[in-house]
Structures are given as C-alpha cells and as structure tokens.
Amino acid sequence: IPQISYASTSIDLSDKGRFEYFSRVVPPDTYQAQAMVDIAKELSWNYVNTIAEAGTYGEKGIEAFKEAAVKSGVCWAKSKIIPRNAEDKDYEDIIHDLLDSTNSAKVGVMFANEDNSRRFIKALVRLNRTQELTLVASDSWGAKIHPVYGQEAAAVGTITILSKRKDIEEFDDYFLNLTLNNNRRNPWFPEFWEATFNCSVHGKGPLKKCTGNESLRSVVGYKQEGLVQFVIDSVFALAHAVHDMLSAHCPNGFERCPYLRRLTGEEFLSYIRNVSFEGIGGDDVMFNANGDGQGRYDIYQYQRTAEGKFAYTRVGEWTDSQPCKFGESRRRSSQCCWMCVPCKDDEYLKNEETCEPCDAQSKPNSNRTGCTRLPVIYIEPGSLWFLLPAAFCTFGMILTTFVLVIFIRYNRTPVIMASGRELCYLLLLGIFLSYTTAFVILIRPSPVLCAIRRLGLGVSLCFIYAALLTKTNRIYRIFNVGIKAMVKRPSYTSPRSQILICSCLVSVQGVGGLTWLGFEKPDTEYRFHQKDFLALECRASQVATLISLFYNMFLIVLCTVYAFKTRKIPQNFNEAKYIAFTMYSTCIVWSAFITIYFGANHDFRIEATSLCMCVGISATVSLFCLFAPKVYIVIFQPHKNVRQATSSSLPSTTGKTTRTYYGGSSGLTYPAQNGSALRQCEEAGSLRAGECTDNRVEVVNAFSDSLEDLSCDEGMEIPEPPPLPPLLPPPPPPEEQEESQDQFG
C-alpha cells in the first residue's frame, strides 16, 4: 500500500528494496548531512568532531556526513556516540575526550534528538567549557526552544538547520476558530480542549465544566507546529495522484469504474511519484526516483539580539540543487531551488531552463548545446544488401530472356504450341517485371521510383498468378465436366478467352494500384535508424504495402486450391502438378516473408532486401517449375518435340481407359464412364448402330478437342482419332487440324 510521510527523514527509508511503496514530502537525512558539510566548507572548518546518538537517526546521519565530507575535503578528528540511557557522566566523558589538549578540532557536528542535545549543553555548562566548542546541530534540534531553555547563554553561536517551512495563515484561521460544537468529528479534540483550558467537558472530577465559549485565540503563546505545511502537502499529493488516476481511467466517474477493481499498489504508486504541484507554502512539491522530497533547509544561528534577548536568527538557506549536467534543464521550484531534468533524446538545451526538440532530420550534438544534421543512408550499390539480391535478380532476368528466346525460336513446335503459348508469354512478362521491380526496391528512393515500386510490385506478380489461375481453372473445368457436357467444348477455353480473363484479373490490380497512388501521393521520407542516421525510404506504411499485395495473395490461394484439385489428372497432362508445386512453394516463401518483414524491427535494409528476395524467389519458382521441363525437351530431347503419327490412349477422369474396336479401327480411347454409356447403348439395342457410332464420335471428338489444348510432360499433342466407318462424317483436312491446334493449343 503506497504511503506518504510528512515527517520521516530516516536514510533507511530511501532503500526501495525494503520500502518500495514509501514516499515523503520531506528530504532524507542525507541532504542535511550534505548541508552540514557545505556549512563547514563555507566557514573554512576543515577539521571537525562528530557526535551522534546511538540509533538509526544519529549513527546513519553521521555516516552520511562522513561520506559527503570525504568527497568535499572535510576531515574529522574524533567521533563520539551518546549511548542509550546515557548518564550525566557519559556526556561529560564525551566532552572531555573531544576537548582534549591534543585535539585541535573545536567544532562538533551533532546528530541527536532534542533531549540528548539539551543534556549535552547542560554538561558543557557544568564543566564550564561552553566557549570551547561550537556546535552544528541537525534538524532534530532545529529551531526548538526545549534544547536551550534555561541555558540560553551557553547555546549562543550554535548553528542549526531545519527543513524549509512556512507558517500557513489559512490553517491558523481554521484552527483558532475550532470549538467543541463545530469540531465533533475529531474524537481527540475534547481531550485537547480539556488540557488547554483546564476544564472538564462532562463536568466530572475536581475540574470546572467547560462552557464551550472558550476560544483558542485567547491562548497565550500559541505557535503553529512547523510540520503543518508538510501535512497539508502530503494530503494534497495523495489527492493529486487520485485525481490523475481517475482522469486517465475513469472519465465517467469512479462509481462505475472497473479499473478500480483491479488497481494495484504499484500502479497507484506510479501516479504518486509523478505528481507535481505548487505546495501550500509556495514551493513545488514533487518526488524523485526514491520517493524523496526536495532538499531545502533554512540555516539558523542561536544569537543574543540587540535588546538582550535570545533567538534563532535565520542566516542562510541550503538547497540540493547542484549545477546541472550537460543535457539537463533546471526545473525551478523557487528562486534558489531547482531539480535537474534530463532533456529527451531528441532535445537540446536551449537555455538553462528550456529543452528544445531538434527537427526531424537532426539530432542533439554531444554536449546538447545544439542540433547536428543526421547523415542520410540508404542501400548502397556496393553493399552486400544490394549486391546479393541484384545478382540473383540479374541471373533471373537472363534466364527469363533465354526462355523467351527459346519460345520464340520454337514457336511452331508441338511442345510450345501445346503449352498454351499466349498465357506462357504473359507468365514470362510477369516474371521479367518481377525481377525488374526487385531492382527498383533496392535503388535509392525517389518519388518516381516510389510510384513505380507501388504499381510494379503488385502488377508484376499479378501477371504471374492471374495467368496461373487462368491455366488451372481451365484444366479443372475440362477434366471435371459431366457426360452430357462432353458433347460440347467447355466455354471460355480458347486462347482469346484465356487472354481476356487474364487481362481482367490484372486490370483489377492495376486499378487498385492507381487508386492508391491517387489517394496517397508517392514520395520519400526520412526515418530514424539506430538514432544516429536517417534512412531514406518510400513513404508507405507496412500495412498499406501488405494491402496492395492482398489481391495477389488472394490469387495465390485460388491457384493453390485449383492446383490441389487437379493434382490427380492423367500422367500425360500433368502440368497441373508443376503448377501445384509452384503454388505450394510460393505460399511457403510469402509466409516466411511476412514473418521476416514484420520482425525486422523497422530495419529498412532487412525490409527492402527481404521484399526484393521474396519477389525474386517467387518469380524464380514459377520460371523453373513451369518452363524448365519444356525448355529441356526442346533443347535436349528434340525427338519428342515432333507430331506423333501413331495413336495412343486417351485418359479418363477416373484414371482408367477403355479401348474400343469398331469397324476395323482400333486405338481410340475415351473416358471410361462415357465408354460405359456407349456400351449400354449398344447392349440395350434401343438405338441403331449408326446412332451409337455418331454419339460415340461426338463425345470422343469433343473431349479430344478440349484435351488437345493442354500441355503434357512429354510435349506431345493429342493424337488424331483413327478413321471411323463410312457412316461417320470425314475428319477435317490436316491443314485445318493444325490451324485448330495452333488456335486452341
């Protein structure tokens, strides 16, 4: 439970390992120990004695004094401890030892309570040695009358210190107007009233009954207790902490605030330690990291006045405010007291009391007196961050160009014709643009390059995955049509339709990219990198970049789904397997990219390089998986890149084939279920043989027309069916068949 003290000054209470939740509006005794050292230095007392009472207050106080004295060059001759329950002889022995003829130190620094201080003065009087020792006493003596009462002359010249305080007039007005009738809430007030006016509230006993008309203003010798200011400040500190906490977490009032139910002492302590307000005495109230108040002391000397009276005279004051270090500003709480507050990381010291932030492209210099321009960095062309991705993308561009040359050179060969040339060229365009865009990501950003990067990144990838989606969708629709649909070629499978579908898919990404450019103008920006550099980057958030790639991710998912569905098509048409492997690999690459990109801790080099490599690897996967088998056949197995004159088996959607012999012709294969339907037709005898034959031809020809558009792992075209009986219509001339294959292949 957090606590705020108004009087506890023990040094031990600054130990947060033991007293974590303790705070106080008064300074610890370490401050007054330092004040005593500074007084000794100011008066050139470089050799002193120390006197402490046994216990935490005295011994810890003198220990703190000695630590500060060592740093300031003040030495001590003898150190004496007043024992607990000391007798008069104990005080006299201490004085004899301190004032020994061999001891030249005639100043005694005393940490003792007022009773021990009074008895020490009495011993000096008894020994008649009051003029031989000058005392510097702690705040326990302060400006109290009790230590000097009846022995005022002996105490003349004593220097004491006391926490800086002020009489609060408002408290006097409040307190002196209290009566038994208007202060019933305080259970101890009647007891105080009886002691003050020597009467009985209830009229019992020998004392007269209190009338209630007594007035505190009539009391002679009333003086406000010196701790009143600190009591009020501690209450206000708690109130400010509660107010700040409720303002932050309970804007609608604390009656229905769920935060209060789970509030911990640690959380509430943070609000106490962060309060700062003007106290009742006019000084700022705040806490340091240990929860201690500011060190402010008045310095008194007990003197005889010109009128012959004795009184404590204020001769100075001490504050704990030392000259601030470089990069620290003064936070004043009074004319002579301040706290040193470090400037923020991006601020310099404009003057002693003001920290000023540097602009977005500067940082404070080494001594925080001004700002220096931050060096601008980007991915240098000679660095490994640039060379490795650039070499990878250059190699990819060369391979892409090589594949394109092969396709153009062997454009009319069966393997190239059967691969769906139009979509392949779009794929190669997307792959080449992907490598090019990866280069743009690495080059020093400019508004134009940032626009190209935004638009090119999405469009280049979209060319690849839109073409793949069109391919896989086409394969899926051809191999998954029903029996009745086999009579007719599936719609939108011609080359022209495929290009149109692919173009529409790409246009969606293009329109989205242009819209993004319209809403957020492409430009560069500077971002802090390791606090010492400015990274030059394109102005686009990570989220916006991922949103621009979302459409491509959607296409990737669809491609993967279709590739999975067509994974079991017949062996001669297994380009879908290569597409499936491409999509699985792409999903893995992009999953790894997202992890690296968001885990880069805003390192622009990792972000740019990972994005570049991800785009390049995705393009490379597509290039090798989809084009390497075809290029290999064209270059190293040219005997397979010719039109086959013999017939071969056609696959079925179930992976089985049915060979039919009719009218002396053999070798024609068609789907098993369709063959079964034809056999049922023939066995039922409900149709003439010619009708069954016509039906069979229509089914097989339609299925063959659809399949001849697909590529196969050996680059072979679909064989032409053998001649059928004369009652079937003759097949088209060979030149028309070649033209058809070129159009739909």
Q: Which token pair is 633?
A: 């056949």
CATH class for the domain made up of 328-373: mainly beta
CATH no. for 3-165+292-319: 3.40.50.2300
C-alpha–C-alpha distance, residues 82 and 94, integer Å: 8
d(CA 70, CA 546): 63
Question: How many alpha carbons lie under 13 Å from residue 375 in its C-beta half-sphere?
Answer: 4
**φ/ψ (deg, to 5) at 670:** -145, 170
User: Which pLDDT belongs to residue 711?
Assistant: 40
CB hemisphere CA count around 389 (13 angstroms)? 29
Q: In what order do the strands lie in the sheet with 107-111?
A: 75-82, 47-53, 107-111, 134-137, 159-163, 296-304, 310-319
Q: What is the pLDDT of residue 495?
A: 78
Residues 6 or more apart from 504 whose CB is under 8 A from it?
none
CATH 1.20.1070.10 positions along the chain are 384-640
How many other C-beta atoms are found inside a 10 Å radius of the C-beta of residue 473? 20
Q: Is 468 helix (H, G, I), strand (E, B) or coil?
A: helix
CA-CA distance, 744 to 292, in Å (whole number)?
87
Residue 741: its pLDDT value, please? 42
Q: Is 306 helix (H, G, I), strand (E, B) or coil?
A: coil
DSSP classification of residue 83: -
Helix (H, G, I), strand (E, B) or coil at 680: helix
Q: Domain 384-640 falls in which CATH fold?
A: Rhopdopsin 7-helix transmembrane proteins (1.20.1070)
Burial 52-89 (b: 16+ CB within 10 A, else e): bbebebbbbbbbbbbebbeeeebebbbbbbbeeebeee
Give dist(CA 711, CA 700) in Å, integer.
Answer: 19
Strand partners, 373: 362
* DSSP string computed for 551-606: HHHHHHHHHHHHHHHTTTS-GGGTHHHHHHHHHHHHHHHHHHHHHHHHTSTT-HHH
d(CA 454, CA 518): 12
Coil vs helix vs strand at 484: helix
Query: Residue 27, class by beta-carbon neighbours within 10 Å (0-12 exposed, 13-18 middle, 19+ buried)?
Result: buried
Place of tokens 């011993």: 123
- For 318, the 3-state DSSP assignment is strand
User: What is the DSSP code string of 224-267?
Assistant: --TTHHHHHHHHHHHHHHHHHHHHHH-TT-STT-GGGGG--HHH
State how far the Cα of 745 lies from the Cα of 740, in Å rounded to an integer: 8
Range(s) of the chain covered by CATH 2.10.50.30 = 328-373
CA distance 398 to 402: 6
Long-range contacts of 711-714 (CB under 8 A, 24+ apart): 711/415, 711/418, 711/419, 711/420, 711/573, 711/575, 711/630, 712/418, 712/572, 712/573, 712/574, 712/575, 713/571, 713/572, 713/574, 713/575, 713/629, 714/572, 714/633, 714/640
In this structure, which amino acid lies at residue 511? V
The DSSP secondary structure of 7-48, one letter per residue, reads S---GGGG-TTT-TTEEESS--HHHHHHHHHHHHHHTT--EE
Mean pLDDT by 10 residues, the chain (745 residues): 90 87 92 93 92 92 92 90 92 91 87 94 92 92 91 93 89 92 90 91 84 86 87 94 87 78 88 88 84 89 90 88 69 60 80 80 80 82 87 93 92 81 88 89 87 85 89 79 53 80 89 82 76 77 71 86 76 66 84 74 78 88 88 87 51 38 32 39 36 41 44 38 44 45 39
SS3 for 711? coil
